Amino acid sequence: MDDDDDELIGELSQAAELADPVPPYLVDAGIAAYTFRTIDAELAALVFDSAAAGSDQLVRSERPARMLSFETADLSIELEIIPQGEIIHLVGQILPPAVVQIDVRQPDLVSTGSTDGLGRFSLILPTPGPFQLSLPYAAAHGGAMVTEWISV
Amino acid sequence: MVTQEAAALLRAAANGDAQAWSGLVRRFSGLVWSVARGHGLSQADAEDVYQTTWLRLTQHLERIKEPDRIAGWLAATARNESLRVIRSGLRVSPVENLEPALEPQGSPEEEAVQAESARQARWRAARLWEAFEELSERCKQLLRVLSAPTPPSYAEVAEVFDMPVGSIGPTRARCLARLRALLADRGITSGSERS
């Protein structure tokens, strides 16, 4: 019976390769991801995501926003992802507040913005898809800080 | 050992070896894709999850605590991202085009020249895929991971799905039994029942 099961798994593997293969351009995109690596940047960990399992907040609520929090030892970023028609707004605040450059990094482009005196920012996600926020001069040592990548 | 090779690729990629990175992506692409699609994501959403998973890994290359469990890390990341995309509900994905990808595509003449055995194998794979699509969500998620080209170990799969490791084997067996029943509905037998 176990051998039969292994055989069926093998058949399933072949069927998946025929019916639902990884698109070749996607493999190239995965390989290209390496070039977006930010070696010296400090990583702000994702500490809250309203869309994460176990968080029942806001799911399918009247306002279709997704809320996330990122943290390093000395900085936190609150982010709200708000779709409005075709446009996806990225609205949030860094704490403690500071006026700093804040970029939206995507695999094919980077768009630049800035926070205000209260650390607030309002950006637009140029294209739906994976992105990370980057604060080029906000790390404790004055270097770059980036958030985890997020899919929208 | 396969896992040791993967761990070596991971360490090399962390040290700036782009070739090693490419090797990792090629080796585990099928797994990451299978996890996303196994969760019922559309092509577009699955592509985002796939990309996000690899982008995440670029950020975590130096931080992976157990390099020999990279398959489990990738599967867990892809699963979490898949669930978030589903739960966030921010995207309205077009209903999947259920194209009969495995139906014969050539002209009757071309089809005729194809070896009979190859044609039968394609037909069988298409029926198998139809039957698979009718399985429960849980079975589809689990079987796609276990049938991926480079599947994680049972221990890793258990962590990915938050299941006791002892239940992976029995669940796999139940899902495969269900798949056999769905195949039997189509007049197809499998395994040793096949003559």
For the stretch A75-116, pLDDT in tens is 999 999 998 888 999 999 999 999 999 999 999 899 999 999
Of B25, B37, B122, Cβ closest to residue A27 = B25
What is the per-residue pLDDT for B21?
Answer: 97
Residue A113 tokens, joined: 């913005």
What is the per-residue pLDDT for B108?
Answer: 61
> Which of B82, B144, B186 has its CA nearest to residue A16?
B144
What is the per-residue pLDDT for A10?
Answer: 95
Q: Does B174 touch chain A (CB under 8 A)?
A: no
Residues of chain B with pLDDT under 70: 1-2, 89-115, 191-195
Are residues B141 and A35 in contact, defined by beta-carbon separation less than 8 angstroms? no
Judged against a pLDDT cut of 90, whether residue A20 lies above it is answered with: yes
Q: What is the DSSP letter of B194?
A: -
Are residues B13 and B61 in contact, defined by beta-carbon separation less than 8 angstroms? yes
What is the per-residue pLDDT for A58?
Answer: 47
What is the per-residue pLDDT for B29?
Answer: 97
Q: What is the DSSP letter of B16?
A: T
Query: Partners of B124 in the beta sheet?
Result: none
CA A58/CA B49 separation, integer angstroms: 21
CA B48/CA B2 separation, integer angstroms: 27
What is the per-residue pLDDT for B119?
Answer: 82
Percent of chain A with pLDDT over 90: 68
Between β-strands A66-71 and A42-49, what pairing exists: parallel, antiparallel or unpaired?
antiparallel
pLDDT tens profile A25-42:
999 999 999 999 888 889
What is the per-residue pLDDT for A59?
Answer: 47
Kindly indicate whether the domain formed by B2-87+115-186 is annotated with CATH number 1.10.1740.10: yes
Instruction: Please list the residue range(s) of chain A that carry CATH number 2.60.40.10.
Output: 40-147
pLDDT tens profile A53-72:
665 554 455 556 899 999 99
What is the per-residue pLDDT for A94?
Answer: 96
Judged against a pLDDT cut of 80, whether residue A137 lies above it is answered with: yes
CA B19/CA A74 separation, integer angstroms: 35
Residue B27 tokens, joined: 């080796």
Are residues A124 and A90 in contact, defined by beta-carbon separation less than 8 angstroms? yes
Strands of the sheet with A132-135, listed across from one edge = A109-114, A101-106, A132-135, A145-147, A42-49, A66-71, A76-84, A87-95, A120-125
Are residues B73 and B64 in contact, defined by beta-carbon separation less than 8 angstroms? yes
What is the per-residue pLDDT for B195?
Answer: 41
* Weakest mean pLDDT among A50-54, A129-133, B172-176: A50-54
What is the least distance, in Å, from the CA of B25 to any CA of chain A? Answer: 6
Chain B neighbors of A85, CB-CB under 8 A: none
CA B194/CA B112 separation, integer angstroms: 25
DSSP per-residue letters across A96-111: S----EEEEEETTEEE
What is the per-residue pLDDT for B118?
Answer: 81
Please state the ipTM of this predicted complex: 0.90
A12 to B34: CB separation less than 8 angstroms, yes or no: no
Contacts 24+ apart (CB under 8 A), B180-188: B180/A8, B182/B131, B182/B132, B182/B134, B182/B135, B183/B127, B183/B128, B183/B131, B185/B131, B186/B127, B186/B130, B186/B131, B188/B124, B188/B127, B188/B128, B188/B131
Residue B91 tokens, joined: 């995207």
- Residue in chain A nearest B52 by alpha carbon: A130
B50 to A26: CB separation less than 8 angstroms, yes or no: yes
Are residues A66 and A89 in contact, defined by beta-carbon separation less than 8 angstroms? no
Tell me the pLDDT band of A142, cut-offs 50, 70 and 90.
Answer: confident
CA A126/CA A123 separation, integer angstroms: 9
A22 to B29: CB separation less than 8 angstroms, yes or no: yes
B55 to A9: CB separation less than 8 angstroms, yes or no: no
Tell me the pLDDT band of A3, cut-offs 50, 70 and 90.
Answer: confident
What is the per-residue pLDDT for A52?
Answer: 82
Residue that has been written with the tokens 């739906």 in this structure = A128
Dihedral of alpha carbons A142, A144, A148, A151, sign: positive
B47 to A23: CB separation less than 8 angstroms, yes or no: yes
CA A17/CA B170 separation, integer angstroms: 25
Are residues A144 and A138 in contact, defined by beta-carbon separation less than 8 angstroms? yes
Q: What is the DSSP letter of A74?
A: S
Are residues A42 and B63 in contact, defined by beta-carbon separation less than 8 angstroms? no
Question: For the domain A40-147, what is the CATH code?
Answer: 2.60.40.10
